[in-house]
Amino acid sequence: MVHLNNILGVFLRWGLVQITAVLIIFLVSPEPREIVILMIISSLTATCLVAAYIWKHQNAKIKKAELDFLHAQINPHFLFNTLNTIVSYCRTNPETARRLLIRLASFLRHALKRHGHFNSLKEEIEYINTYLILEKARFREKLIIQRDIDPDLLGCRVPALTLQPIVENAIKHGIQPKIGAGTVHIKINASAKEMFFAVMDNGIGMNNDQLKNILLPGFGSGNGIGLSNVHERLISLFGKDCGLRIESSENKGTCVYFKVPLIMNEDFEGGLTGEAQSANH
């Protein structure tokens, strides 16, 4: 049906321009040379309209394909490590193992379902919290999570699967290699028209060469979603001003921040669930 609608859209645009040209010829009765010029102009106009229509629909398909690709980019190392953690709890604490399996199922269900381009902030935060509970079970006291999230923003629309890769990057490349405990701080607030996101860690940081390359396609992605993928998707949705900004110092930590337009979901109800409010417990 979608394919048929696209074909009809192409023929409709082409036909309308040609019919308009014929009507002009019938009503105005131009000279033969003027008729030729008119038909050439109408053909070029129709071609431009059809090309613009096709480009618009192809661009929409590309964006959907990019989002579907993101859904498939679950880090296999994260799954392997999580399953190992669950196995380690099976004998010593079966109830914890059971709860972690439920959390893992919830994480995979959310990651693999089709979201469209946007979720509510509440959905994204609960997805991140599920991920963090699984990581806390693995890293225990080594990983400390802090949040500073305005609860009035939970009903706002945000790009799907955007925050979690940034948080995962902070843990994997910032906290995990660090000697001793490390902190990941998630901060979300807003002005009158924009929402501001920041993910900060006090991990090992990056040198200048790494910082220059971090947003290049494929750099630092490992087996998950690279920051460049998130960066490009934010730009495609909102423009260059909404891409990722990164500040980092070696042995001090990294801050990744970005902004999006403030868009409220009018049908939103409720706040975060009790279990989702902290991954530190």
| pLDDT attached to residue 149 | 95
Tell me, letter by letter, the H, E, C secondary structure of 129-140. HHHHHHHHHHHH
Helix (H) or strand (E) holding 46: helix 32-71
Domain regions of the chain by residue span: 2-69, 75-277
- pLDDT band (50, 70, 90) for residue 4: very low
Q: Is the pLDDT score of 66 beyond 90?
A: no
Express as a percent the part of the chain with pLDDT over 90: 36
- pLDDT band (50, 70, 90) for residue 71: very low
| pLDDT attached to residue 192 | 85
Rounded to a whole number, what is the distance in angstroms from the first to the last CA of the chain? 50
Class in CATH terms, 75-277: alpha beta
Q: Is the pLDDT score of 206 beyond 80?
A: yes
- pLDDT band (50, 70, 90) for residue 230: confident
Q: Is the pLDDT score of 38 beyond 60?
A: no
How far apart are the C-alpha atoms of 270 and 173, rounded to whole Å?
Answer: 34
| pLDDT attached to residue 157 | 92
